[in-house]
């Protein structure tokens, strides 16, 4: 048996790790997982408050999903994308039962980023228009087309981009671009939608793409008027609305999809991550009848070798059934108050916490140097040295057996939806204590 150190060296010698420089990298060697915990080669049992990469909603290892993968592998491992299969039909049917009404046709992709790319391609094919409107504080994936729509600086190393990307300012109340506050606000962020579209020329715009609740740009919730106004403007100008639910889908926010909180149904829904609870790579684009009807007479000129891969689809079908049978979406909604109460208590107790936000089991602490000025604890887009303080908090938590995800000045709490309440409190206790040490 190879010792753990040699296995890590083998990983580093022959594979590349993403979003980090390789020199000095010391990744944990994970050997097993169950529910909300993973175990390292040293025997440390770690509570994962990040759900892997915000994707393991049903748990880090669910026996029913694993068995579905094995059963499919015993029956049919490979099918070309032009073939019909039983698992393809059954998975589409199961997804149609949970997606917003009218979004019941699916293009299966390899993950969330290419689901976004395919949604953009579909919008351009259907409308014959070129421009895509996206928000400034946004992240839509690491492939070139998805990064083109992304607003944050993760796109910078790969400029120039696809042409015709237009930016909207964000409906981000804590850091309002219009320097107002919810109690005295006339919602200029909603007016800004129409102003931007009129300035660009509505007849040139194929789609607007938004995250109903952003991912690693801060998990902020727009004012309740924002999405309905966006829907109304898009309808009036025959612009398609794409909702990126790669991170927020499949129960994370206490609803199957975050757009359900807004009462707005998009024309296209980009899915990934928790579509299989991370047990296999898969994404999908759900489309409306209007969009699907276009391809009755026009070819869908896109595709990939592993589109609608049987094993990935088996994981997706089992995942939906697990989320339903175990009531995990309802559980996320039920635990929202517990999580929000604890996060707000940290906000009140620690000057480093500027604001606490939470929807379902999707919580974030926005860390600041100064509560009056709201200066970020770590500047967005800062280098490794500036990010070191929040990384040190995460490292100390890791040493205590609690894993969290951080990005810039955000510390996220997004555990698997199956988390036991006592485990949630234990993880939050550790965060609370480490925030106290950071001052």
Which residues lie closer than 8 Å to 418 by C-beta, 6 or more apart? 35, 36, 58, 59, 326, 328, 331
Question: Which pTM was predicted?
Answer: 0.95
Under the banding of pLDDT at 50, 70 and 90, the label for residue 405 is very high
Q: Tens digit of pLDDT for each residue in 249-262? A: 999 999 999 999 99
Q: Give the mean model confidence (pLDDT) for residues 203-221.
A: 94
Q: Give the mean model confidence (pLDDT) for residues 339-364.
A: 97
Q: Look at residue 34 and tell me whether its pLDDT is greater than 60.
A: yes
Under the banding of pLDDT at 50, 70 and 90, the label for residue 2 is low
Q: Look at residue 438 and tell me whether its pLDDT is greater than 80.
A: no
Q: Tens digit of pLDDT for each residue in 290-299? A: 999 999 999 9
Q: Tens digit of pLDDT for each residue in 356-398? A: 999 999 999 999 998 888 998 888 776 667 778 888 999 999 9
Q: Look at residue 161 and tell me whether its pLDDT is greater than 70.
A: no
Q: Tens digit of pLDDT for each residue in 173-182? A: 888 888 777 7
């Amino acid at each position: 048996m190879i010792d753990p150190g040699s296995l890590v060296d083998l990983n580093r010698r022959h594979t590349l790790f993403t979003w980090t420089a390789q020199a000095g990298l010391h990744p944990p060697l994970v050997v097993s997982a169950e529910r909300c915990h993973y175990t390292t080669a040293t025997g440390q049992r770690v509570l994962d408050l990040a759900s892997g990469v915000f994707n393991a909603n049903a748990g880090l290892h669910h026996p029913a999903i694993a068995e579905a993968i094995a059963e499919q592998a015993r029956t049919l491992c490979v099918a070309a994308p032009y073939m019909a299969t039983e698992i393809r039909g059954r998975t589409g049917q199961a997804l149609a039962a949970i997606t917003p009404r009218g979004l019941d046709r699916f293009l299966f992709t390899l993950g969330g980023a290419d689901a976004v790319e395919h949604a953009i391609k579909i919008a351009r094919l259907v409308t014959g228009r070129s421009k895509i409107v996206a928000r400034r504080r946004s992240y839509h994936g690491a492939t070139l087309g998805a990064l083109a729509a992304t607003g944050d600086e993760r796109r910078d190393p790969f400029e120039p981009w696809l042409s015709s990307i237009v930016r909207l300012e964000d409906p981000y109340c804590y850091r309002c671009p219009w320097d107002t506050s919810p109690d005295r606000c006339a919602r200029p962020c909603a007016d800004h939608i129409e102003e931007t579209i009129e300035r660009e020329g509505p007849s040139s715009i194929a789609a607007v793409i938004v995250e109903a609740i952003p991912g690693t740009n801060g998990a902020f919730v727009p004012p309740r008027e924002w999405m309905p106004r966006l829907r109304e403007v898009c309808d009036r100008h025959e612009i398609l609305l794409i909702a990126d639910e790669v991170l927020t889908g499949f129960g994370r926010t206490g609803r199957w999809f975050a757009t359900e909180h807004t009462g707005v149904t998009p024309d296209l829904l980009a899915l990934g991550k928790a579509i299989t609870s991370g047990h296999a790579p898969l994404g999908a684009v759900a489309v409306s009848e209007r969009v699907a009807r276009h391809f009755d007479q026009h070819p869908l000129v896109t595709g990939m070798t592993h589109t609608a891969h049987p094993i990935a689809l088996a994981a997706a079908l089992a995942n939906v059934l697990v989320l339903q049978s175990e009531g995990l979406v309802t559980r996320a909604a039920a635990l929202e108050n517990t999580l929000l109460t604890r996060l707000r208590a940290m906000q009140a107790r620690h000057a480093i916490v500027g604001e606490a936000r939470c929807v379902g089991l999707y919580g974030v602490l926005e860390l600041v140097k100064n509560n009056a000025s709201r200066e970020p604890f770590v500047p967005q887009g800062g280098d490794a040295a500036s990010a070191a303080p929040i990384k040190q908090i995460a490292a100390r938590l890791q040493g205590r057996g609690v894993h969290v995800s951080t990005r810039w000045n955000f510390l996220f709490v997004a555990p698997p939806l199956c988390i036991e309440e006592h485990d949630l409190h234990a993880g939050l206790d550790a965060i609370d204590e480490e925030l106290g040490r950071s001052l």
